[in-house]
Amino acid sequence: MAAYWIDFFSLLARWTHVVVGIAWIGASFYFVWLDNHLDAPSDDALKAKGVGGELWAVHGGGFYNPQKYGPAGPRRVPDTLHWFYWEAYSTWLTGFLLLCLVYYRSPEVSLLDPTRLAPGGFGGVAVGLGFLVGGWLIYHALCRSPLARSERALGLSIAGLLGLAAWALCQTFSGRGAFLHFGAMLGTMMVANVFFVIIPGQRKMVAAIRAGQLPDPIHGKHGKQRSVHNTYFTLPVLFTMISNHYATTYGGPSNWIALILLCVGGAAIRHWFVLRHRARERDGKTSPVALIIGLAAIVATAAMLQPMTAASTAAAPVTAERAQAILAARCTTCHAAQPRFAGLAAAPNGAMFDTPERAHAKRSLIAAQLQSGAMPPGNLTAMTPDERAELLRWASTP
C-alpha cells in the first residue's frame, strides 16, 4: 500500500513539475524572443522617457506594445511590478522532489551501477548532490572570473566544464542516473542564476530607482548574461528529462559521447532560433551553420547508437520456454502484473513479461533494452552474459 501512495505522489509531483516547467521555459523563451525583436522607438516622447526599444504585437484578438527601457531604467517604478521567479523556483523544487522519490529513495535501482565508481547506498546519493552543488559553484566562479570579459572565452570554458561533467557522471553512475543528474545539474545552474544573480540584481535596480538614484548597469549586464546562458541550457535539460524513456541513449558504453553530442545539438538548434529572432538586422537572412551543426550532432548520435546485429545465424534458436525461464528469473521481479520488487506498485512503464503472451508482445522493447545494456538496472538480478545473449536472440528473431 505504501508503494502505491508513493507512486501516486510521484505522479502528482511529475505533473506539477511539467506544468511549472512549461511556465518557466515559456516565459524564458518569450523574453529572449522579445529582447531580440525590439526596434528603436520613433516617438520622441518615448525616447525622452528612456525607452530603448519597443515592438507591436497582436495575439488573441488584442494589440500589445511592450517597451524596454535602456540601462538607466525608467525614472519611476510603479507599485505594481510583475516579477518572474516563482516559475523557476517551483520547477527546481518539484524536480528535486522527483529526484529524491525516483533516484535517491532507492539508489540501487536507477542511480547506481556496481561497475561504476559511485559508492553504494546513500554514499552515491551524496556524490550526486555534490555534482549539483559543485557544478553550480564552478560555473559561477567561471562567470565571475576574467574569462567573463569575453563571451566567447566564457562560453568555451562552460562548454568544457559541461563536457567534463558529462564524462564524469557517466563513469560514476548508471547511464540513466548520469543523464538525469546532468540535466539536474544544468537545472540547478539555471535556477541559481535566477536566485543568486538575476533577481537580486533586479531588486537593487528597483531600489535605486525608487530612491531617486541611477541603477548600476552592471546588474542588468550580469542578469542578461545569465539569462542567455539559461536559454542555451534549456533544450539539453529537456532532453535529459525524457531520456530515461530511451535506453539506447544512455545504456551503451559510449553514453557520455551521446550525451555531449545531443546536448550540443540542442544548444546549436536553440542558437539558430535566437539568430532567427534578429534576422531583420541581416535583411531577413539567417546563416544555417548553427542549424546544420545541431542536426549533424543528432544524426551522428543516431548513427553511433545504432545497434549491431545481435543474433548469429549459426547460433542455436532459443525456444519460447527457455526465454520465459530467463525472464522469470531476471526480469519479472519488476515486470509483472504484481511486482515483487520492494517499492514498486506497478510494472515500470507498464511493461509486463510474466506470461508468454505478454513477453512475446514486448519482444522489440526487450531487445532494445538488452542491446543497450540498460536492463536489468545495475544488473540487480545478476543476468549472465550467456542469458543476455540467449534472450536477445529470442527477442530479435522475426
pLDDT in tens, 15-26: 999 999 999 999
At how many degrees (to 10) do helices 151-172 and 175-192 cross? 150
Residues 163 and 124 in one domain: yes
Single out the residue of 84, 86, 73 nearest to residue 207, CA to CA.
73
* pLDDT tens per residue, range 267-299: 999 999 999 998 888 888 999 999 999 999 999
Is the pLDDT at 351 greater than 90, yes or no?
no
Cβ-based burial of 259 (10 A; exposed 0-12, middle 13-18, buried ≥19): buried
* pLDDT tens per residue, range 88-115: 999 999 999 999 998 998 898 889 988 8
- In the chain, the number of structural domains is 2
User: What residues contact 9, with CB distance under 8 A and at least 6 apart?
Assistant: 101
Residue 63 confidence (pLDDT): 96
Residues 128 and 227 in one domain: yes
Helix (H, G, I), strand (E, B) or coil at 164: helix
Task: Indicate whether 122 belongs to any domain.
Answer: yes
Helix (H, G, I), strand (E, B) or coil at 283: coil
Residues 333 and 264 in one domain: no
Tell me how far apart the alpha carbons of residues 182 and 241 are, in angstroms, rounded to a whole number: 10
Task: Indicate whether 27 belongs to any domain.
Answer: no
Q: What is the mean pLDDT of residues 197-206?
A: 95
Q: Which residue among 275, 305, 335 closes a domain?
A: 305
Residues 204 and 100 in one domain: yes
Residues 158 and 287 in one domain: yes
Residue 348 confidence (pLDDT): 81
Residues 178 and 298 in one domain: yes
Residues 166 and 203 in one domain: yes
Full domain range(s) for residue 355 = 320-396
Q: What is the mean pLDDT of residues 306-312?
A: 59
**What is each CA distance from 100 to 96, 110, 180, 184, 359, in whole angstroms?**
6, 11, 12, 12, 31
CA 305 to mean position of chain CA atoms: 20
Tell me how far apart the alpha carbons of residues 67 and 49 are, in angstroms, rounded to a whole number: 11
Position with higher pLDDT, 370 vs 46: 46
- In terms of phi and psi (left: phi > 0; alpha: psi -120 to 50; beta: otherwise), the region of 373 is left
Residues 184 and 213 in one domain: yes
Residue 315 confidence (pLDDT): 67
Residue 311 confidence (pLDDT): 47
